[in-house]
Structure 1
Amino acid sequence: MQKVTVLGSGVLGSQIAFQSAFHGKDVVVRDLDDAILVQLPARWEYLAAQYRRDLPDASEEKLAAAVARIRVTSDLADAVGDADLVIEAVPEVLDVKRDTWAAVGGVAPERTIFATNSSTLLPSAIADATGRPERFLALHFANTIWRQNTAEVMGHPGTDPACFDAVATFADEIGMVVIPVLKEQPGYVLNSLLVPFLTAASTLFVRGVADVPTIDLTWRKATGAPLGPFQIYDVIGMQTPYQLSRTSPDPEQREFAAILKRDYIDQGKLGVASGQGFYDYR
């Protein structure tokens, strides 16, 4: 699968696009708003700087070639018209994802394989909206994918095994460690471990048990982990935890979402990528 379309140019969408292009794939990035797309060259510069810092093979020539392989558009039919693989990284809202895939299914070639990068939603909750559920599955990346390079591949009961294998092969080709998830599981392997950990940290914060630096320090010193939970939130970015927390049945999680919105998102403090989050990275 050489021709890849990424739907959504947020934190993960832009990383998926850049990583794919860095490993030689031809990439189209589609977002709804041309005003967002014109900002992407700055995002490529940011990611190139991270690759230079972290990857010994990130030469200037290879980075420039990666950027040259990326094309952007706001036109859905243009974006998916020749795609071998479409990877969706739109907001973590079921109706948004289903509407997106219904539109994609109407214009993509018959050969195209569809993959969602959803962090929490099951493929079976989305598959029928595509009109070709046998070619639909999940391909989930961890943030900072050039360094935290896992790719979880998870089908639903109707996924064609050949599509599963093709997506696993693609993930390997773009430098990922492939994690086959053998049955549907909310949160896959990674988030089944990570989300309860982050939720526990946000609950301590909301209850006023300890402040952010203390919670992070406790985890790092006691376990030897390189990052505390709120440092991980900053790497993830504020939007995904906000979307998940604001619809939670737990009132403390909804309170956490309100804090994220008021004190961070509305102030432009979106995490590492924006220079500020729970911590200042400027």
Structure 2
Amino acid sequence: MSLNKVTVLGTGVLGSQIAMQAAYHGKTVVAYDVAEELLEKLPDRWEWMRGYYKRDLPDYNEENFNAAIARIQTTTDLKEAVSEADIVIEAIVEDVDIKKKVWAQVGEAAPAHTIFATNTSSLLPSSFGPASGRTDKFLALHFANMVWKSNTGEVMRTTETSDESFEATLKFAEEIGLVAIPIYKEIPGYVLNGLLIPWLEAGSNLFVDGIAQPADIDRVWKVGTGSPHGPFEVYDVVGFGVASHVAKNNPDPRSQEFATKLEESLARGETGLGSGKGFYIYDEQGEIVKPNPAWEL
């Protein structure tokens, strides 16, 4: 099964990266979002990514990047977006009811052969996949943020995913430059987030409890372990939109308080690395200038 026509649902931080990752590796891509003003942000996203592709990829090719942009079409019409798709990759908000509604529409409109993949970070595919009406073709394909560099592709099947769909998606992940990781059983957060989210929550709990400043929590982790990044630097890369939804799903009062603070930051237009302001303030090259005073204890 050849998966050459890709539709990406959602053009936010990860959705736009997924679209570019697929297009840069030769796939034809349709990027869908609910409003034209969201799609109008994509040219700026491409230029933002271009700088990182140049910096991070030893074999970066300028002509290939320009050709990738040309291979990405945009639309606000969901039926049109999926009408010729070999694979649909969903990267919308982490809300089960919204995902069910979207996948029900996709299931009615997509060709019979289309594989359905969700990029959900924290939900089980089986909690909303049945809405598509095609559980044998439904699974998860999880991308890490900064896809071009952190290029894992976790392919997680459900109990109803067919072997053909599973194997085809693993092959597709490799074709678009990912390190394909097969996951044979559903688990919230896959392997990556199963490790990452508890670590991030430990950092946010230390901050919410008033133990130390975000920058100092990062510093002690980096100095003590030799790791290149601390939890709050990673929060900035992940983006506050995703982080707030993950925090909301944790009933711990500290997580709820942290989610509220993240939403207040989002309301100020501070979303993390993508906006140049998160727990840190960044320069145009995405390098840290200083801690953001808005997050000081």
Residues matched between the structures, number:
281
Output the amino acid matched with 1:269: E
Match of 2:187 in 1: 185
Q: Is 2:40 aligned against 1:35?
A: no
- Under a length normalisation based on structure 1, what TM-score does the superposition of the two structures give? 0.98
Deviation, 1:126, is 1.5
Report sequence identity in percent: 52
Match of 1:267 in 2: 268
**One of 46, 50, 57 as aligned partner of 1:55:** 57
Output the amino acid matched with 2:270: K
Deviation, 1:57, is 1.9
Q: Distance in 1 between matches of 2:43 and 2:20?
A: 11
What are the Cα deviations for residues 18-65 of structure 1, in whole angstroms up to 9, with x where unaligned? Answer: 000000000000000001111111111111111011112222111100
Q: Distance in 1 between matches of 2:280 and 2:124?
A: 32
Alignment of 1:131-142 (within 5 A): 131-142=133-144
Match of 2:286 in 1: none
Match of 2:84 in 1: 82
Tell me the SS of whatever aligns to 1:106: helix
Match of 1:226 in 2: 228
Q: Distance in 2 between matches of 1:190 and 1:115?
A: 17
Deviation, 1:246, is 2.4
Output the amino acid matched with 1:279: Y
* Structure 1 gaps, min length 5: none
Match of 2:70 in 1: 68
Q: Where has structure 1 moved over 4 Å in runs of 4 or more? A: none
Output the amino acid matched with 1:6: V
Deviation, 1:267, is 1.2
Deviation, 1:245, is 1.4
Match of 1:165 in 2: 167
Q: Distance in 1 between matches of 2:20 and 2:59?
A: 15
Q: Distance in 2 between matches of 1:41 and 1:142?
A: 21
Deviation, 1:273, is 1.0
What are the Cα deviations for residues 161-209 of structure 1, in whole angstroms up to 9, with x where unaligned? Answer: 1000000000000110011112111111001100000001000000001
What are the Cα deviations for residues 232-267 of structure 1, in whole angstroms up to 9, with x where unaligned? Answer: 0000000011112124211111000111112x2111
Alignment of 1:191-206 (within 5 A): 191-206=193-208
* Structure 2 gaps, min length 5: 284-297
Tell me the SS of whatever aligns to 1:41: helix
Q: Is 2:149 aligned against 1:147?
A: yes
- Under a length normalisation based on structure 2, what TM-score does the superposition of the two structures give? 0.93
